[in-house]
Amino acid sequence: MDQVSLGKTGPMVSDLGLGCMGMSGMYGPSDRAESIATFHAALDAGITLIDTGDFYGMGHNEMLIGEALKGKDRDRVALSVKFGALRDAAGNWQGYDCRPKAVRNFLAYTLQRLGVDHIDIYRPARLDPDVPIEDTIGAIADLVKAGYVRHIGLSEVGSATIRRAAAVHPISDLQIEYSLISRGIEDDILPTCRALGIGITAYGVLSRGLISGHWQKGAAERGDFRAASPRFQEGNVDRNLALVDALKRVADAKGASVAQIAIAWVAAQGEDIVPLVGARRRDRLAEALASQAVHLTPEDLAAIEQAVPKGAAAGARYPEAQLAHMDSERH
């Protein structure tokens, strides 16, 4: 698998990353043994960029990754960790805390759960409205100096915040949703990152399964994020699945799956963009890995654009309550 630099100042990573959130129940029940087997299959395939968050399963995801890493070469893996999101014992979201002392506290627990002595890329999950981004980045910069963190990233923030953060310390990458039906970064955020030499790690490349070609209406189980996601709701889901049907015709003509076309499209948007695939099963991982053999011609890209025009998706990408916390959505 090819290796790319994550931005001008970031680490060398595989040009496809593994997002591990789904292994900790965010999309309904998951199988622990299959999750670990999928993690190992990703490493064997050459994936080195592993993404998690300390709030995924309230620490469960980090402990799972820590278990999966035992006996593996830690130095071959670039661990990307988000912090700052607060949850209660029932799993409800409680806002964000990115104060410097909270940053130090979160990192201490993350190192313990993962069983490692440093994090390769550490990033606030969202902008804390009560804490200047300069204070948060400054606190992580101190952890870089102390050797606990190697690089600093950002997540779901807008251009003004990106510039303020980059003025404090070099930023390796911005993690943000980017897919055929979530293209908001193209107008302002992506040009800002490119001007500053900041890479993009794109999550949600299959829109939480919506444009994977596998999703069926009404499939969300109890505890599944998608049960409350606007794009999966009645009145929106049928319109969005019609886009998938149109994309499938392009995929069939290319001899690829819908998921492979969707992943390949994100990868084709620039060498500075690394797609994260949220596979939690080996068969889904294998399908995603095969996207790297899909080479999209200008004619293919035009056909994809016609099938799924920019802005065609019905519904917002998050519920309104969560969008209110997303600096990236403020224009």
Task: Provide the annotated active-site residues.
Answer: 56
Stretch (H or E) spanning 83: strand 78-83
User: Whole-angstrom distance between the N-terminal and C-terminal Cα of the chain?
Assistant: 37
Q: What is the DSSP string of 229-258?
A: -GGGSTTTHHHHHHHHHHHHHHHHHHTS-H
Which single residue is written with the structure tokens 């970031």? 10
Q: Are 280 and 65 in contact (CB under 8 A)?
A: no
| Whole-angstrom distance, CA of residue 49 vs CA of residue 14 | 6
Between CA 77 and CA 82, with CA 80 as vertex, the angle to 5 degrees is 155
Q: With contact defined as beta carbons under 8 Å apart, do 308 and 251 qualify? A: no
Number of alpha carbons in the 13 Å side-chain half-sphere of residue 228 = 13
| Nearest CA among 304, 303, 279, 306 for reference residue 290 | 279
Q: Which residues contact 20 (CB under 8 A, 6 or more apart)?
A: 35, 39, 50, 51, 52, 56, 61, 64, 65, 278, 280
Burial of 147 (C-beta count, 10 Å sphere; 0-12/13-18/19+): exposed
DSSP string, 251-282: HHHHTS-HHHHHHHHHHTT-TTEEEEE---SH
Helix or strand holding residue 224 (H, E): none
Residue 170 near residue 191 (C-beta atoms within 8 A): no
**Contact at 8 Å (CB) between 281 and 18?**
no
